[in-house]
Chains A and B, each alone.
Chain A
């Protein structure tokens, strides 16, 4: 069982989403009968670091908790963070390779669009702030 130490200072909904996402690590090679690989704990941990660090930063700066994303198995060993909230949708994909940047896309169903690559080692609070607008 994965044993990531979560910050004590975290919203309950995010904490719960993280706890539920541990099941991703139980998926073995070929878990979909179509050759999908198992998920590395390092990928999962990177996804959770991205989520928790930026959510906490947003809370400290703006006193707003972003709602919890769905933390989902993505293609080829990657992990998806998926939000649908307040008319906005955001997908952040954390690749299996630690050297690759995250890929993201979000829009409000109209002309407010954000997309690109993220260095997950940097402060990316802005992307969660965009979700709360």
Chain B
């Protein structure tokens, strides 16, 4: 007997994200400190009710893709997390949530309450993606 798996007609079924994979997240400049590092407020759920912390899975997104999805990309940086480290933040879990409406197969929610503990811990495990990796030289202007 083989279990039936329901696959959406667009083929964008939810997938399990391996612990070693990267998740990219945009951070608006308003949430950067004087050293251009994210402040704890950057690690927030969007929207507050019913939303998770919005990220893009590296399997289907480059850092540049994530950056270009911003309303004003130039006002944002991109950081990355390692999925397995995110899973170790108490009370948080990851779900691949492809967003057909916004044509974003990479979309991944980090669910869980927006606690002070979670935000402190996120502040210890992110890495800033260098700007050169986001916006290739000659691609701007």
Residues of A at the B interface (CB closer than 8 Å) are 27, 31-36, 70, 72-76, 78, 80, 82, 89, 91-93, 103-107, 115
Residue B75 is within 8 A (CB to CB) of chain A in the complex: yes
Q: Is the CB of A31 within 8 A of B47?
A: no
Distance, CA A115 to CA B71, complexed state (A): 36
Residue B112 is within 8 A (CB to CB) of chain A in the complex: no
Q: Is the CB of B46 within 8 A of A105?
A: no
Which residues from A are CB-within-8-Å of B61? none
Residues of B at the A interface (CB closer than 8 Å) are 28, 30-31, 33, 39-41, 44-48, 70-72, 75, 114-117, 119-120
Which residues from A are CB-within-8-Å of B115? 103, 105, 115
Q: Whole-angstrom distance from the CB of B43 to the nearest CB of chain A?
A: 8
Distance, CA A33 to CA B29, complexed state (A): 10
The answer, among A33, A76, A106, for a CB contact under 8 Å with B44, is A76
Which residues from A are CB-within-8-Å of B28? 32-34
Which residues from B are CB-within-8-Å of A103? 115-116
**Could you show 18 A-B contacts with beta carbons less than 8 Å apart?**
A33-B70, A33-B72, A34-B28, A34-B71, A70-B39, A72-B41, A73-B41, A74-B40, A74-B41, A76-B48, A76-B114, A78-B41, A82-B40, A89-B120, A91-B119, A105-B116, A105-B120, A107-B120
